[in-house]
Amino acid sequence: MSNTHLKESIDILKQSGVRITPQRHAILEFLINSHTHPTADEIYKALEGNFPNMSVATVYNNLRVFRDAGLIKELSYGDASSRFDFSTSNHYHAICDECGKIVDFHYPGLDEVEHFASHVTGYEINKHRLEVYGLCPECKSKKKNQ
């Protein structure tokens, strides 16, 4: 499945006139295979061994290209670093208060919120976002064992 996502994403970039460099390919592949919503620094650290000439700025610039092409979402939740999500479908996030880990979840009933909000306010609603916060299983276990 990730090979299909990679090929489709590369096709979208090429159609937008974006040249596919080895670094761009590696960053995109990393995002597709990652389910952790990494920061640019985490992506850089994971790939720097394969690309000694790559800088953090290269990662940021490529993430901007991917975001502008609609391939990824940039998630900012008030902390210092944005996180990046390859899944651009409608979904929600559970965020750990302790370690910052973000996990996707789907809840189709929340799509009705947009319709209701539009009805009540008269707004033309085009998107919504939901985050829930708590302790992930790992941090919960650590706290229990302290």
- C-alpha distances (whole Å) from 75 to each of 67, 81, 117 are 11, 9, 23
**HSE on the CB side for 38, CA within 13 Å?**
21
Residue 5 marked ligand-binding: no
Mode of pairing for the β-strands spanning 92-96 and 102-105: antiparallel
CB atoms within 10 A of CB 56: 13
Residue 115 marked ligand-binding: no
Residue 106 marked ligand-binding: no
98 and 118 in contact (C-beta within 8 Å)? no
Binding residues for Zn(2+): 96, 99, 136, 139
Binding residues: 96, 99, 128, 136, 139
Binding residues for Fe cation: 128
